[in-house]
Amino acid sequence: MPNVHKDFHGALSFGLKFLEEHYGEEGMREFLEGLAESVYAPLVRDLRTRGLAALRDHWQTVFDIEEGDVAIRMDGDVLVLEVRRCPAISHMQDRGYGIAEHFCEHTRIVNEAVCRAAGYDASVEYDQGTGRCVQRFRRARE
Amino acid sequence: MISCTEFIWVYNELFRFIEERGGEEQLIAFWKGIADEFLWNLREYVEKDGLEGMRRYWSHTLGEEGGRHRMTLYDDMFVIDMHECPSAKLIHESGRVRPFERYCEHCLWLYPPILRELGYEVDYDLLSCERGRCRLTVRKPRARGQHTEHGGGPAVEPGPDSGE
């Protein structure tokens, strides 16, 4: 499929490592949080408009395109993503690329920034070594 | 997870962030780092099969990334004419990010240095970043005193993965 160039995951990992080495953890965080206002601005707008259905559709599309293994469900008022095989981690492991020590933190930081901008909360528990994680999203409490 | 389908925009933002924080020197260091870390397979293709290895390498990567281009393989020269680069198009036409004015320069630092290290003469002409137009021309080094009036007809035109 055009535009699915999985080596970009490796380039992102290298980029995160570069940011952390040169500008510290705060620099990496600042860069990733800024993406909510640019790259992910359409998702923020969609989340404000359609609520968690917007995130559900976003993640379903991403994991379909990237052929990851994920279960997406609603648990009460919480959207839960159970990632059983992360396409980014598995691609980098398959290719033998070096994976940034804090690679999976980018998921936490970007998710939180996107959700914060739209009035939602996000959390993630991950195991970078196995490429598994559980992500949760809910409307922020007043 | 940032999807690889979103990474072109992220790349644009990353280049700007690094240049604003660390200046041109760090931006170029970042591009060179990408080449060192990820382009070893280009090096392998070229070491093994020379100009034909280049055609095979870019047939694969440009096939994955899409876009419209023409590859021409002569006996002594390999040329990619990029008419519409998918990355540059996305950056400039999607409206999703403010295009980083030096975005297309990354190719200049990624590919030509490796090919020159392997003994080739390389020209990279950036014709229009906004329109996604550039040309990579790679020539076999000419032996001292050798005179070439023509390089023979193209063996491949266009490349098998050309979007044309």
Domain boundaries, chain B: 7-139
Instruction: Please choose, from the candidates B76, B72, B80, the residue with its C-alpha nearest in 3D space to the C-alpha of residue B154.
Output: B72
Please provide the CATH number assigned to the domain covering B7-139. 3.30.1380
CA–CA separation, A122 vs B142, rounded Å? 60
Its pTM surpasses 0.80 = yes
d(CA A94, CA A119): 37
pLDDT at residue A75, as a whole number: 97
How does the average pLDDT of chain B come out, rounded? 89
DSSP codes of every residue in A93-111 = HHHT----TTTTHHHHHHH
Chain B residues whose C-beta sits inside 8 Å of any chain A C-beta: 1-11, 13-14, 17-18, 21-22, 26, 30, 33-34, 37-38, 61, 64-66, 86, 96-98
CA dihedral A28, A90, B9, B88 (to 10 degrees): 130
pLDDT tens for each residue of A15-55: 999 999 999 999 999 999 999 999 999 999 999 999 999 99
Size of interface A-B (CB pairs under 8 A): 100
Q: Compute the nearest-CA separation of B95 from chain A (Å).
A: 10
**Closest residue of A to B161, CA-based?**
A2
* pLDDT at residue B149 is higher than 50: no
The interface predicted TM-score of the complex, written ipTM, equals 0.93
* Domain A7-139 superfamily per CATH: Trafficking protein particle complex subunit 3 (3.30.1380.20)
Q: Look-up: residue for tokens 């002409």?
A: B125
Please state the φ and ψ torsions of residue B53, each to the nearest 5 degrees. Answer: -65, -40
Per-residue pLDDT tens digits for A84-138: 999 999 999 999 988 999 999 999 999 999 999 999 999 999 999 999 999 999 9
Q: Answer whether A43's CB lies under 8 Å from A115's CB.
A: no
Element (H, E) at B103: none
CA atoms within 13 A on the CB side of B33: 19
Cα separation, B63 vs B69, whole angstroms: 10
